Chain A
Amino acid sequence: MRRGSFVVLATWLVVLTGAAGAAPQVTPRPPAPAGARGTPGAAETGTGLIVGTVVDASSGAPISGAVVTASVRAAGPVDAPGELAALERLAALQAAGLQAPAGGPTILRAFTTSDGRFLFRDLPPGTYNISTSANGYLTSAFGRQRPDGPPRPLTLGDGERRTTVSIRMWKYASISGVVVDETGAPAVGIPVRALRVTVVGEARRVSPGPTTYSDDRGYFRFGGLTPGGYLIAAPMTSIAVPVSAIDEYYTAMRSGDTGELMRERLASGAPMPTTGGLRVGDQQLQLSGIPTRTLAPPAPGPDGRILAYRTVFAPAASTIADAEVLPLASGETRANLTLQLQLSPTASVTGQVIGPDGPVSGIGVRLLPDGNTGLVIDNGFETATTVTNAAGRFVFLGVPAGSYTAKVQRVPRPTVPVDVTRLSVVGGVVMTTSGSSAPPAPPTEPVLWASAPVGVGATDVADVVLTLREGLRLSGRLVFDGASPQPPADRLQALTIRLAAVEGPTIQAQPARPDADGRFETAGYPPGRYFVTPGSIGAWSVRSILAGGRDVVADALDLDRDIDDAVITFTDRRTSLGGTVTTTTPGEVDAVVVAIPADYQGWIAHGMSIRRAPQATVAPDGRFSLGGLMPGDYLVAAFDADAPVNTQDPEFVAAMARVATPVRVAEGEQRQVSLAVARLR
C-alpha cells in the first residue's frame, strides 16, 4: 500500500521535472573510481581533501560505521539548514531509487572507519555542508555545538587539505515501560505515543511524536528521541461506526466503487469501516489498537453500561494538563515506566450534524477532552469518534465523565485523476502507477466546521446539535513594489499562501494559489489566530500583509470574519543586517547571531512569529549576514555556538534583551554592525 502510493508520488515527480524542462543531470553519485570518469554529467573533481573524525559529543569516543554526507555547491550564498533539509529529501529519493532533481548539489558519502575517521578526496573548491548519521545518534552536522545547534558550512579552497575536521554527535534518549490492564496483566497491542513538549511564548506546545504498540509482554520502547521534554501516553479512543455505514462501504466495494466514499470519509476524518468489535444497538464499537487486530471493550454488564479505557498520560493523568513532563538528556534512558489502563463507567452522547441543506450523513464527528492544552495535532487523542448515519445522527459510545468538545471539520481532499492503472510486480511486490499526467484537481467545496461543548456525567447526553459553518476565507491581491519585472503568470500561480494556526491543531487545507492577475483566495478556516505565510518569488520577498486593517506580516491575524481586501506586497529591495563578530580568544569564530524585535513584549503577545527573529551562523572569519530581514527596530546579539538559543522561549528572549544591541534597519538598507560575543546572564 505504502509502496503503491509512493510510486504515484514518483510519477508526479517525473511529470513535474519534465514540465520544468529539466536539463540533463546525473547529480547524486558516489565518488566514482577513475575508470568511470568522463561520463556525461560526472561530478567535477579537484585536488582538495577533507579528513575528519566523528565523535560522541559527551564521551569524545570515535563513532564507527557512521555515514558522512558532504554536499558541495560551487559558489554563492549558502543556506546551511535549508541545504541539510534538501539533503534529507535527496536521500529519501535515492533510497527509493530515484534520481535527484536537476540543479541539486553534488553529494558524496562515506562510512567512518573503526576509529571514526572519514575522508573525501579529489574535491573541487567550494562550500561544503557535511552531515552525519549513525545508529543510536541524532543526525548531526559539521559545526554543531549542541544537539539542535546550527550547522556550519566548510569552505575549501583550490587544492586545500582540511585534515582535522571533527563532527560531534549526540545520542538519542530513550523511554521504555509496560502497559498493563486494570488487573495488572500485560495489555497487548495498545498504542503508545511520545509527545514532545516545547515552550512557545507563554504556552506549552505539545507535538505528538512517534507511535508504538505494546508487545505481547505489554512492553514498549521509544529508542530514538531527540533530547527534550516528553509526555508518554496510551491514547484510547472509543470508535463507534453505524452498522449501516459499514454495509454501505461493503456494498460500494462489491460494485468496485469505494473511491468517492473513502474520499468523503477522509475529508472529515471519519473512522474507517471495519468488521469487528462490540455490537451496541445499531453501532459497532471498537477501541483504538494495533492495526492488525481489532480491540474491543468488554461486553457490558447487566445494566447495559459500557466500560471503556480512558486515555492515560504517564504517570496516571487523563489529560495533558495533569500529566508529568519527563525531561530527557542526550543518551539518557528512562526505563520501567508503567501505564496502567483503567476501565471507567461511561455514558453515550448522541446528536445530529446539520449542514446548510439539512442533516449531513457520512461525516466524521470527534469528541475531544478539554484539558489537552497545547496539543498541536489532536488526531488520535479523541475520547470517541463516530460517523453520522443517513439521518445525520451520531452517537459517541464509551465516554467517561468529563468535559469535552464535539468537533466536525471537513477539509475537502483533492481528487487524483487516474486514467490508466498499471500494476507491475517488482521483487514480488505489486506496485500501482497512475498513468495520468494531470495534476490533482484542487477541491472546490468549502471547508466546513462545527464545534460544541459537551459535559458528560453519569447519564447519557442527548441532542447535541452541531451546525456546520463554512470556514472563513482570506482573499485579496498581490502587489509587486519595485523596479524588477513583475513575475510571469506561471510563477505567480506557483506561489502558495497558507494560514498556520498560532495555537491549537493545524488545519490541513490546500494552500491558496494566486491566479494570473495575482488575486488569491484561501480555503476556509475555523475562526482563530493564524499566521499568513506566503512564499517568496525569485528576488521578490514579502514586505507587508495588510488584512483586517493591520499589517500581519509578522503578527498573527485574527480571523473572525471573511476578509476580502487583503494586500500582500512584495518588494525587490533587499534589507539585511550584517557585520562582524569579534571574540577575545584567537582563532576561528564559532558563534551565532540572533535578532529579535525591539518591542519583544508586543511580539510575544502576537505569537512570536519566527519571521521577526532571524538567526545566522557566523563565518570562521567573524562575518555574518541576516538576509531577508524585515525593516524595523531590532535587538541583536552574538552568542557562542553552543549557547542555548531559543527565540520561542520568553525567558531566553528576556535574557537576550538585557545583553543585546538595539539596531534600526530601514527598508532596502544593508546595515552593518560590529558585535562582541555576549554572555547570557
Chain B
Amino acid sequence: MIPENRRRARATAPFGVALLLALAAASVLSTTPAARQRPTGTARDVSAPPTGTGTIGGRVVSDEPGHPPVRRAVVQLSSSAAPAAGRTTVTDDDGRFAVTGLPAGRFTMLVVKPGWPTTYYGATTPWRAPGAPIALDEGQQVTDLAVTLTRGGVIAGRLTDADGQPVTGARVTALTPRTVNGQVIYSQAIGATMLLQQTDDEGAYRLYGLPPGEYILQASVPQTPARRISPDEVAWALGRGGAPGATSQAAPPPPPGPTVVYAPAYYPGTTTVAAAARLRLDAGQALQGIDFALQFVPTSRVSGTVTRSDGVPVRGAQITLTEDGPQVGALVFSTTGRSVVQPDGSFQFPSVLPGRYIVNVRAASQAPAPPARGTRPQAPTLDLWASADVSVNGADITDLTLTLQPGMTISGRVVLEATTLEAPADLSRVRLQLRPPDMMAITNRISLQTAPANADGTFTLSGVVPDQYVLFASLPGGNPSEGTGWMLKSIRQGGRTWMDEPIEMRGGQDLTGVEITLTDRAAQISGRLLDAADRPAPEFFVFAFPVDRSAWRLGSMRLRQPVRPDTNGGFRVSMLPPGEYYVAALASFEETDWFDPTFLEQVAAASIRLTLAEGEQKVQDIRIAR
C-alpha cells in the first residue's frame, strides 16, 4: 500500500541546444578567508528605509514597429536593503520615468501595465525573474535605462457543452507544460494580465496580456453529477406510444442512464492533459476562435470502511482522495477530494471521475485532553494512517477496507548556535517541516507537515507514514538577502548526521533524540564578474553549486538558482552551508537546467572550485576568458 517508487528517475534527456554555456576560466583576484566584520544589531531592527540622492530613470517603449512609448506603466524598484515601498513611479506620455531619492545599492526593476506581460529589467526572458540588478553609487544619476515591453498576446474562444450550447461560468485558463526531472508538469502560466476567466453567457472567454510561449487551454465547470436520460427511458416512462399516462410498466424498464459529469477539458477537446494541443503564441499575437467542448464522463461512488486493528471505533478520521496522474497545477472544479469518516467507520466519495487515485486516511488514536479552563482546546494528534491505491473506471467501488496503522514519531530538540544574532528565549518560532525529498517533482501523494517547536526547543512530529522525507527547520530573523539569518546546520541522531538528505522512516520505528542545530554562521561568496578586459559582465549569470553530487537536486540547501550580477558586475550568493563548491559563469540557462544533473556535470567541467568554511564571507572575483 505504501508507494514504493516515489523517488523519480533523474532527467536523462539532453538539455536543449539553445543553451549556451560560457566557459568560465577564473582568476582569483582576491580572497579573504576570514569572516568580515558583521553588522551588529538585533535581527528585528525596524528602521526607516534608507534614503539618498541617487536617481534611476529611463524610458519604456513597446516592441512594436517604431517602438512607440508606453505611458502610465508602473515602474517598481526594489533592493535587498529595503522593500519596494515607495520606490515606484509612473511613465509619462513619452514613456519616461525617474525614481529619485535613492540610496546607494543594488536595485531590481520591474514594469507593470495591464495588457502587457510584467517585464523584469535585464532578464533573459523579460517576463521571468530574476532581472539584472542595477548598481547605484551614492548620488549617482542613472537616467537612460531602456525597457522594451512585449505586447501581450490573446487567446480567445468559446466553450460549448455536449449539445453544442454555450457553457456559462466555466473557468478557462492557460497552462504551460514544463519538464522537471524528466516529468512533464503543467503549471499555470506566468506574466499574463488575465490568465483565468469565467465564460460568459455566450460561452466566450478571453485571456490576454499573455507572454509569447507554448500554452495548453483548460476548462472546468462547477457542477454536480447528474444522470443522463435515454430516449428509451422516456418512451418507457410515457408508455411506449408516448401517450401521457398510458400504462406499460409491464414492459421491462430499460437500464437507467449513467451518472455523468463534465470532466475538465483541454483544447481541442480531450479530457486528458497529455492529449491536449500545445498552442504556440507569438508576441502580441491574438489566437481567436480557440473553441472547444466539454465532455461527459461517468462518475463512480467509492465507499468502504476504515477500521482499527484493535477494534476500537474510529473517530474524527480525515480521508482524502487524490488523483495519481500527471501533475496539473491549476485549480479545477473537482467532484472528488475530501470526505468524512462516519462514527461507524464508513466513508464515501459520491462522484469520482475515472482515473487512478490514492485514498489516504489520517486519524487520532486518542481524543485530545480536555482543555484547561481559559485555554483553547487542543487539536487531536493524527497518529494513525492508512492508504490505498484505487483505479476508477465508471463502476462503483463499495468494498474498500482500510485498516489504520500507527504512524511513527520524530522527536528531539532544536539547538541554536548564536554568534551574531540574538537567540530567542522562546523557540516556538522555530518551524519544523517534514517534506518529500523532491518538492518540485511533486507526486500527488505528498503530504507536507509543518509544526512549531515547543518553547524549550523540544519537538515532536507524529503520525509520520513510512516513506522518505527531508526534515527541515527554520527560524525567521536577520535579513537572509543580506546574508544574515538562521540556517539549518545539521540534524543528528545516534551517530548519524543529515542536513537536507532524505531520511528513511520505516514502519514501527520512531526516530527519537534527534538534535537539530540552527546556526547564524552562514557562508557567502561575493565578488565581481568581469570580462577579459576587466570590465563588468552583468549580462552573464554566476552559478555556485556544491561539489557533492548528492546535493544536485531541487530542494537542496546547497543548490541555488544562478544569480545575475548587478550593472557593476557585483554578485553575491549567501546563506550557504560550509563545503566545497563549484563556481561558474553562464551566458544563459533554461528554467529547469540548474537542477539537472546532466547540465551540472557539464558546467562542473568549466568551473573553478573553492571551499567555504563555516561562516566564511569569501570574496572571489571571476574573470571570463575569451
Q: Which of A33, A224, A243 contacts B256 (CB 8 A)?
A: A33
A403 within 8 A of B: no
Question: With A98-B338, A189-B114 in contact, do A290 and B193 touch (Cβ < 8 Å)?
Answer: yes
Contact A111 B346 (CB under 8 A): no
> Which residues from chain B contact A425 at a C-beta distance below 8 Å?
322, 442, 444, 446-448
> Which residues from chain B contact A108 at a C-beta distance below 8 Å?
227
Contact A299 B229 (CB under 8 A): no
Question: With A296-B90, A423-B447 in contact, do A40 and B346 touch (Cβ < 8 Å)?
Answer: yes
> Which residues from chain A contact B182 at a C-beta distance below 8 Å?
none
Query: Which residues of B199-238 have CB atoms within 8 Å of chain A's CB atoms?
Result: 200-204, 206, 208-209, 222-231, 233-234, 237-238
Q: Which of A215-223, A650-658, A673-681 participates in binding chain B?
A: A215-223
> Which residues from chain B contact A423 at a C-beta distance below 8 Å?
447-450
**Minimal beta-carbon separation of A270 from chain B (angstroms):** 15
B236-262 Cβ-contact flags toward A at 8 Å (1 or 0): 011000001100010001011001100
User: Given the complex of chains A and B, what is the CA–CA distance between A243 and B160 in angstroms?
Assistant: 48
> Which residues from chain A contact B138 at a C-beta distance below 8 Å?
none
A584 within 8 A of B: no
Contact A94 B224 (CB under 8 A): yes
Contact B74 A294 (CB under 8 A): yes
A282 within 8 A of B: yes
B548 within 8 A of A: no
Question: With A65-B165, A292-B194, A423-B447 in contact, do A251 and B46 touch (Cβ < 8 Å)?
Answer: yes
Q: Which of A94, A224, A295, A421 contacts B335 (CB 8 A)?
A: A94
Question: With A51-B237, A135-B161 in contact, do A97 and B334 touch (Cβ < 8 Å)?
Answer: yes
Residue of B nearest to A17 (CB): B340
A70-96 Cβ-contact flags toward B at 8 Å (1 or 0): 000000000000000000000100111
Q: Which of B87, B89, B351, B379 contacts A436 (CB 8 A)?
A: B379
Contact B332 A427 (CB under 8 A): yes
**Minimal beta-carbon separation of A411 from chain B (angstroms):** 22
Q: Which of A23-31, A539-547, A621-629 participates in binding chain B?
A: A23-31
Contact B83 A256 (CB under 8 A): no
B310-346 Cβ-contact flags toward A at 8 Å (1 or 0): 0000011010111100011111111111111011101
Contact B222 A427 (CB under 8 A): no
Q: Number of residue pairs across A and B with beta carbons under 8 Å?
A: 334
Query: Which residues of B396-426 have CB atoms within 8 Å of chain A's CB atoms?
Result: 396, 398
Q: Which of A69, A109, A188, A277 contacts B74 (CB 8 A)?
A: A277
Contact A428 B327 (CB under 8 A): yes
Query: Which residues of A103-133 have CB atoms within 8 Å of chain B's CB atoms?
Result: 108-114, 117-119, 121
User: Given the complex of chains A and B, what is the CA–CA distance between A282 and B101 in angstroms?
Assistant: 12
Contact A422 B449 (CB under 8 A): yes
> Which residues from chain A contact B259 at a C-beta distance below 8 Å?
30-31
> Which residues from chain B contact A522 at a C-beta distance below 8 Å?
none
Q: Which of B315, B320, B328, B340 contacts A428 (CB 8 A)?
A: B328
> Which residues from chain B contact A427 at a C-beta distance below 8 Å?
322-323, 327-328, 332, 334, 444
Q: Which of B166-174, B385-393, B502-510, B614-622 participates in binding chain A?
A: B166-174
A483 within 8 A of B: no
> Which residues from chain A contact B451 at a C-beta distance below 8 Å?
420-421
Question: With A51-B238, A67-B226 in contact, do A437 and B380 touch (Cβ < 8 Å)?
Answer: yes
Contact A26 B49 (CB under 8 A): no
A519 within 8 A of B: no
Contact B224 A91 (CB under 8 A): yes
Query: Which residues of A260-314 have CB atoms within 8 Å of chain B's CB atoms?
Result: 273, 275-279, 282, 284, 289-290, 292-299
User: Given the complex of chains A and B, what is the CA–CA distance between A292 and B233 in angstroms?
Assistant: 50
Contact A275 B376 (CB under 8 A): no
User: Given the complex of chains A and B, what is the CA–CA distance between A224 and B48 in angstroms?
Assistant: 49
> Which residues from chain B contact A426 at a C-beta distance below 8 Å?
320, 322-323, 337, 444
Contact A26 B226 (CB under 8 A): no
Contact B237 A119 (CB under 8 A): yes
Contact A216 B379 (CB under 8 A): no
**Minimal beta-carbon separation of A609 from chain B (angstroms):** 35
User: Given the complex of chains A and B, what is the CA–CA distance between A250 and B444 in angstroms?
Assistant: 33
A248 within 8 A of B: yes
Contact B320 A29 (CB under 8 A): no
**Minimal beta-carbon separation of A469 from chain B (angstroms):** 31
> Which residues from chain A contact B354 at a C-beta distance below 8 Å?
none
Contact A24 B344 (CB under 8 A): yes
Residue of B nearest to A13 (CB): B340
**Minimal beta-carbon separation of A252 from chain B (angstroms):** 9
> Which residues from chain A contact B444 at a C-beta distance below 8 Å?
425-428
B113 within 8 A of A: yes
B6 within 8 A of A: no
User: Given the complex of chains A and B, what is the CA–CA distance between A294 and B118 in angstroms?
Assistant: 10
Contact B343 A435 (CB under 8 A): no
Contact B83 A213 (CB under 8 A): no
A1-39 Cβ-contact flags toward B at 8 Å (1 or 0): 011000100100010011000101110111111011001
B38-71 Cβ-contact flags toward A at 8 Å (1 or 0): 0000011010110000000000000000000001
User: Given the complex of chains A and B, what is the CA–CA distance between A278 and B237 in angstroms?
Assistant: 68
Contact A112 B477 (CB under 8 A): no
A381 within 8 A of B: no
A61 within 8 A of B: no
B490 within 8 A of A: no
Question: With A26-B346, A279-B89, A290-B114 in contact, do A97 and B193 touch (Cβ < 8 Å)?
Answer: no
Contact A188 B237 (CB under 8 A): no
Contact A65 B82 (CB under 8 A): no
Residue of A nearest to B368 (CB): A437
Q: Which of A97, A297, A424 contacts B90 (CB 8 A)?
A: A297
> Which residues from chain A contact B163 at a C-beta distance below 8 Å?
64-65, 114
**Minimal beta-carbon separation of B611 from chain A (angstroms):** 30
> Which residues from chain B contact A18 at a C-beta distance below 8 Å?
315-316, 340
Residue of A nearest to B228 (CB): A111
A346 within 8 A of B: no
B526 within 8 A of A: no
> Which residues from chain B contact A357 at a C-beta distance below 8 Å?
none
A99 within 8 A of B: yes
> Which residues from chain B contact A112 at a C-beta distance below 8 Å?
229
Contact A254 B74 (CB under 8 A): no
> Which residues from chain B contact A189 at a C-beta distance below 8 Å?
114-115, 193
Contact A121 B78 (CB under 8 A): no
> Which residues from chain B contact A277 at a C-beta distance below 8 Å?
74, 88, 90
18 A/B residue pairs, CB under 8 Å, sorted by A = A7-B338, A18-B340, A47-B249, A64-B165, A65-B161, A65-B165, A95-B223, A95-B335, A109-B224, A110-B228, A119-B229, A255-B44, A277-B88, A284-B86, A299-B91, A427-B322, A428-B185, A437-B377
Given A2-B331, A31-B256, A428-B442, 20 more A-B residue pairs with CB atoms under 8 Å apart are A22-B343, A30-B227, A47-B249, A96-B338, A97-B339, A98-B337, A110-B228, A111-B228, A188-B114, A188-B193, A223-B201, A279-B88, A284-B85, A292-B194, A293-B209, A296-B72, A298-B72, A299-B91, A420-B451, A426-B323
Closest 8 pairs between A and B when the two form their complex, measured CB to CB: A223-B201, A97-B337, A189-B114, A246-B85, A243-B86, A109-B226, A223-B200, A428-B329
